[in-house]
Amino acid sequence: MQRTRPHTLAVGLNDSPAGLAAWLIEKFLTWSDPATRHTLTDDLLLTNATLYWVTQTIESSVRLYALPPVAPSKVVVPSYVVVANEPSLPHPPRSLLERLYDDLRGVDRVEQGGHFLAVEAPDALVGLIRRNLSPHRGINL
């Protein structure tokens, strides 16, 4: 639905708080890493649903999945890639990443934390960001 009919989906989700909550919870449960699902608290799920409901922004969040595929441009700035542990997605091979990133400085695969990595494993994500960016402190890139 997100890819093929995002507007139809958005109309239905914007019309029903129960439908919106069910949709979001299903995404959190299927796109997260089973090992870190315990971090997805009721408060987190209800806060997300409330934000989408009050702001009526579910359509802008699902529209991204319906955009036509575009050949990616090469990223030319120094880059680090963090690959989440999403159960339904394969990890990209380094050879593909090297074609997409001109100055690939590193690839980190997290052991735990899926699509919602910042919520599922925030300490691991912050640690990787600090480690990878610390050599660049005070440098204008």
CA torsion angle for 39, 19, 4, 70 (degrees, to 10)?
-30
Report how far residue 45's alpha carbon sits from residue 25's, in angstroms, rounded to the nearest whole number: 7
pLDDT of residue 141 exceeding 70: no
* Average of per-residue pLDDT across 59-67: 84
pLDDT of residue 137 exceeding 60: yes
Ramachandran class of 114: left when φ > 0, alpha when ψ lies in -120 to 50, beta otherwise: beta
Does pTM surpass 0.85?
no
pLDDT for position 83 = 92
**pLDDT tens digits along 97-112:** 999 999 999 999 998 9
